[in-house]
């Protein structure tokens, strides 16, 4: 299933870039879009995790407690211990990345360590290791990079239009509408069920679903009043969406409602 979703995302990206290239430059533009798509596909597979970590200035963790918790949970999950990073922001949150469990990384914000207690921190990290164990990380990280690339194309088209003599060209409107929504659709290709799956797997790993439920409530409450700086194209990576979103955007959210996640966590019976 993971292979199918990955292939589908690559196909969507290729189609968007080739289509945009054709609108801009006809046959030559279409060829350029195809070449660019192959280049981005290659880069996103091998280095998308490093790109995302770089965006948030993540540094290898020197926090002994954090490293110890991840090591213990990885052992309980029967997966290799991922690299551990800390992100310099006081907004509590976390994400996992990497193309497979052998090349995975977990990143936690400084705020996560300051706002949550030890059991809640373990619950959040177990959720992220759930993504690693369920092999969600490749598809999620690639989607972040792909959505960012598509949004970048929209910005290029917008600013390029100001230097064009023919602003009434039918090219501009499709680019400005289709590219951002294409990026949104790429993110929506990440099924919201993966968050429920990681919640369940994380609860089994930590053996404490109530701690994860409490952590989600605290992170969600904090995020409503303290927005994180970063790229909205990476929203689906985080355990809770750290960016502002209106009622309309919630309809297209890559995260299920926190209230529903908490309800399901409270119903989980640990084996």
Active-site amino acid positions: 128
What's the rounded Cα separation, in Å, for the pair 108 and 83? 11
φ, ψ (nearest 5 deg) of residue 220: -65, -45
Picking from 211, 223, 241, 224, the residue whose alpha carbon sits closest to that of residue 124 is: 211
Quick one: angle between helices 258-267 and 193-206, nearest 10? 40
121's CB contacts (< 8 A; 6+ apart) are: 66, 69, 108, 112, 113, 215
């Amino acid at each position: 299933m993971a292979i199918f979703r990955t292939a589908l995302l690559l196909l969507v990206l290729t189609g968007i870039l080739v289509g945009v290239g054709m609108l801009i430059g006809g046959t030559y533009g279409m060829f350029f879009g195809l070449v660019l798509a192959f280049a981005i596909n290659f880069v996103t597979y091998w280095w998308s995790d490093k790109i995302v970590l770089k965006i948030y200035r993540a540094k290898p963790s020197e926090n002994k407690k954090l490293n110890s918790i991840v090591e213990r949970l990885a052992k309980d999950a029967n997966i290799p211990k991922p690299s551990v990073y800390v992100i310099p922001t006081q907004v509590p949150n976390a994400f996992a990345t990497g193309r497979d469990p052998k090349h995975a990384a977990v990143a936690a914000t400084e705020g996560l360590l300051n706002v949550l207690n030890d059991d809640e921190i373990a619950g959040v990290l177990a959720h992220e290791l759930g993504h690693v164990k369920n092999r969600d990380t490749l598809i999620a990280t690639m989607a972040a990079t792909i959505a960012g690339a598509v949004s970048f194309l929209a910005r290029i088209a917008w600013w390029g239009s100001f230097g064009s003599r023919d602003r009434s060209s039918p090219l501009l409107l499709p680019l400005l509408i289709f590219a951002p929504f294409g990026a949104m659709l790429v993110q929506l290709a990440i099924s919201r069920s993966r968050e429920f799956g990681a919640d369940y797997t994380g609860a089994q790993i930590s053996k404490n679903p109530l701690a994860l439920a409490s952590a989600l409530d605290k992170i969600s409450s904090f995020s409503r009043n303290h927005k994180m700086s970063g790229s909205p194209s990476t929203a689906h990576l985080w355990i809770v969406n750290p960016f502002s979103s209106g009622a309309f955007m919630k309809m297209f959210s890559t995260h299920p409602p926190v209230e529903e996640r908490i309800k399901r966590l409270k119903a989980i019976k640990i084996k």
